[in-house]
Amino acid sequence: MVQGHERPRLRPRPFGSGGLVTLSPDIALVIVNYGSDALLDENLHGLDREIDPAHVVVVDNFRSAADSERMSTLATRRGWSLVCLPQNQGFGSGTNAGVARAQELGCRRFLLINPDARIDAVGVAALAEECAARPQNIVGARIRRPDGSVWFHGGTILLDRGRTSTGPAARSSAPGGWITGACLMIHTDLWDRLGGFDDEYFLYWEDVDLSWRCTESGGRLTVLPDLKVEHSVGGTQVGGGKSTTYVYYNCRNRLLFASRHLSRKRLLSWLLTSPGYASAVMQHGGRRALARHPVSMIGAALFGTAAGGTQALIRPVARPTQTNG
Q: Do 50 and 186 belong to one domain?
A: yes
End-of-domain residue from the set 231, 252, 286: 231
CA–chain centroid gap for 211, Å, is 10
Three-class SS of 239-275: CCCCCHHHHHHHHHHHHHHHHHHCCHHHHHHHHHCHH
Q: What is the pLDDT of residues 197-220, one digit of tens each?
A: 999 999 999 999 999 999 999 999
The answer to whether residues 129 and 52 belong to one domain is yes
Q: Residue 142 above 90 pLDDT?
A: yes
The mean pLDDT of 167-176, rounded to a whole number, is 94
Q: How confident is the model at residue 107 (pLDDT cuts 50, 70, 90)?
A: very high
Most confident region among 10-19, 151-160, 315-324 by mean pLDDT: 151-160
Measured CA angle at 234 (ends 249, 10), to 5 deg: 110
Per-residue pLDDT band for 232 (boundaries 50, 70, 90) equals confident
| Phi-psi domain of 120 (left: phi exceeds 0; alpha: psi -120 through 50; beta: other) | beta
pLDDT > 70? residue 245 = yes
- Out of 105-119, 209-223, 224-238, 264-278, least confident range: 224-238
Band the pLDDT of 69: cuts 50, 70, 90.
Answer: very high
Mean residue pLDDT across the chain = 89
66 and 206 housed in the same domain: yes
Quick check: 299 pLDDT over 60? Answer: yes
Residue 19 in domain: no
Helix (H) or strand (E) holding 300: helix 294-314
Confidence of residue 236 (pLDDT cuts 50, 70, 90): low
Do the domain assignments include residue 324?
A: no
pTM metric for this prediction: 0.89
Distances (CA, A) of 307 to 81, 86, 156, 252, 296: 36, 25, 24, 6, 16
Q: Total domain count for the chain?
A: 2
Final residue of a structural domain among 175, 201, 231:
231
The pLDDT, as a whole number, for residue 3 is: 36
Q: How far apart are CA 89 and CA 304, in angstroms?
A: 18
Burial of 235 (0-12, 13-18, 19+ CB in 10 A): middle
> Within this chain, do residues 87 and 168 fall inside the same structural domain, yes or no?
yes
Q: Is residue 238 part of a domain?
A: no
In a domain, 305, yes or no: yes
pLDDT of residue 1: 35
* Residue 213 is assigned to a structural domain of this protein: yes
**CB-hemisphere CA count at 13 Å for 26?**
10
Neighbour tally for 11: CB within 10 Å:
10
- Which of 207, 231, 255 is at the close of a domain? 231
In the prediction, which pLDDT does 157 show?
A: 98
Q: Same structural domain for residues 189 and 74?
A: yes
Q: Regarding predicted confidence, which is higher, 84 or 11?
A: 84
pLDDT at 17: 46
- Residue 274 falls inside a structural domain: yes
Residue 8 belongs to a domain: no
| Beta pairing partners, 203 | none
Identify whether residues 152 and 253 lie together within a single domain: no
Report how far residue 35's alpha carbon sits from residue 180's, in angstroms, rounded to the nearest whole number: 21
321 belongs to a structural domain: no
Q: Are residues 164 and 252 in the same domain?
A: no
Return left, alpha or beta for 291; rule: phi > 0 is left, psi -120 to 50 is alpha, else beta: alpha
**Length, in residues, of the chain:** 325
Do 258 and 294 lie in a common domain? yes
Judgement on whether residues 252 and 119 belong to the same structural domain of the protein: no
- What pLDDT was estimated at residue 270? 96
Residue 325: pLDDT band (50, 70, 90) is: low
Summarised one tens digit per residue, pLDDT across range 9-65 is 333 344 444 445 779 999 999 999 999 999 999 999 888 788 999 999 999 999 999
pLDDT of 248-291, one tens digit each? Answer: 999 999 999 999 999 999 999 999 999 999 999 998 866 766 77
Which residues, in sequence order, are bridge partners of residue 69?
none
Q: Are 293 and 148 part of one and the same domain?
A: no
Residue 321 binned pLDDT confidence (cut-offs 50, 70, 90): very low
Report the interhelical angle of 244-261 vs 206-216 (nearest 10°): 20
Residue 138's CATH number: 3.90.550.60
Percentage of the chain lying above the pLDDT 90 cut: 78
Q: Which domain holds residue 254?
A: 244-314
Q: Answer yes or no: do 216 and 256 share one domain.
A: no
On whether both 209 and 258 belong to a single domain, the answer is: no
- The stretch 135-151 carries a mean pLDDT of 96
Tell me phi and psi for residue 110, to 5 degrees.
Answer: -120, 120
